[in-house]
Structure 1
Amino acid sequence: MATDYDAPRRNEADEMAEDSLDELKQRRNEAQSAVVDVEETDTAESYELPGADLSGEELTVNVLPKQADEFTCASCFLVHHRSRLASSSGGQFLCRDCAA
């Protein structure tokens, strides 16, 4: 509830005396209500990312198997070219990023 700081101040006793019994009952019922208002439009499907209209898009990617000059890092599990090899011990290869 917004507060108007320029309005004249009233104490709670004045407010309680002016409230009707029906208003007090209504406030109590609203405070005790366990019903949560959930709109169907509040789902994550309704949110659209700006500039990301992917409707009708079909992504196709060619995945190649690991080549002879590549290795899989034992720390980050990414496939790197042999030029990124920092160390190898016991068949465990580490890339330069993970070795640093």
Structure 2
Amino acid sequence: MATDYDTPRKTDDDINEDSIEELKARRVDKGASTVDVDEAELAENLELPGADLSNEELSVRVLPRQADEFTCSVCFLVHHRSQLASEDGGQLVCTECA
């Protein structure tokens, strides 16, 4: 909520003079400014586990392993050579698995 710091502030005497009806009206006005969320829109974007995705297509471009990358023999993920921890008999292991 934005606050205007240039508006004059009320003193204690001004606050005590506010009637109960004014305070109740202000509280009702604040409640009217809340945003309604359409739950139907949220449900449309929610995908449940086990949903049928057979008609969906991937839009990801897959690149082959580059010359400066290796496949870890433990986790089978492709890493950059800077993450190589050990090489035992052709078995390359990344720093995360070492």
Fold match, TM over 0.5? no
User: For this structure pair, what is the TM-score category when the shorter chain's length is used for normalisation?
Assistant: 0.3 to 0.5
Normalized against structure 1, the TM-score is what? 0.43
Normalized against structure 2, the TM-score is what? 0.43
